[in-house]
Amino acid sequence: MSIRNHLKSVIEDEYKAIEKLTEQVNVDYERSVMMLKNCQGKVIVTGVGKSGHVGKKIAASLSSTGTSAFFVHATEGLHGDLGMVQEQDVVLLLSNSGESEEVLQLLPSLKQIGCQKIALTSKRESSLAQVCEAVLVYQYDHEADPLNLAPTISSTIMLVIGDALSIALSIEKKFTKEKFHLYHPGGSLGNYLATQQEKKEQQS
């Protein structure tokens, strides 16, 4: 198989997995959006490894679309950063297996804090899923690499779910273009929104 075909194969596999994801959106996905909408505190996203990297992006997307959110690395959480979490917060815990040791070790402290928890995992019967108020479960046949080991399809699915949560939540909150500009004044997007705002003011 040529290099070009290898590239196409990965893209096709990831595309098919995302397409199947639309069939897996259930009541827990809706419940998660409402938990985030009704959150009186902050949204904290946590995970390790590739899930942790995806978690950083999810927290950034939530923040830029009207929901106060930040990422806490699960290992750092075990070494004092759990002090950032309060009872009125909602914690989104990412673990493909639902058995990531560092993530599970956070749970006793989170229980004592009293915050609500949402699991994002591929295993509904996992230890993580069993103790969360809502569980975002996804399924996939295999990873994109021939060894079926490197987080590829699984991490892409997590990323897509994070985007879906962020946008659905922003719609529920009636998030506006003006608010987006408030949180994103820099870069080409910020410049575009500033120009649009100037045109709007000139027309009024």
Can you give the pTM of this predicted structure? 0.92
Dig out the tokens for 83 from the structure: 């002090």
| pLDDT in the model for residue 195 | 75
pLDDT (tens digit per residue) in 46-60 = 999 999 999 999 999
Residues in the chain where the model's pLDDT stays below 70: 190, 194, 201-202, 204
Could you tell me the end-to-end alpha-carbon distance of the chain, in angstroms, rounded to an integer?
61
Mean pLDDT of the chain: 94
| pLDDT in the model for residue 99 | 98
Element (H, E) at 194: helix 187-203
Dig out the tokens for 128 from the structure: 């993580």
| pLDDT in the model for residue 82 | 96
Contact call for residues 69 and 95 (beta carbons, < 8 A): no
| pLDDT in the model for residue 16 | 97
Please, how many CA atoms are within 13 Å of residue 200, restricted to the half-sphere of its CB? 8
| pLDDT in the model for residue 193 | 73
| pLDDT in the model for residue 179 | 79
| pLDDT in the model for residue 91 | 98
| pLDDT in the model for residue 180 | 78
Task: Report how far apart, in Å, the C-alpha atoms of 53 and of each of 32, 48, 84, 128, 158 are.
Answer: 21, 7, 19, 19, 10
| pLDDT in the model for residue 189 | 74
Domain boundaries, the chain: 18-140+147-173, 176-204
| pLDDT in the model for residue 102 | 98
Rg (CA), the chain: 19
Torsion sign over Cα 138, 46, 166, 198 = negative
Torsion of CA 42, 185, 174, 91, to 10 degrees: -20
Top-level class of domain 18-140+147-173: alpha beta
Torsion sign over Cα 171, 175, 180, 183 = negative
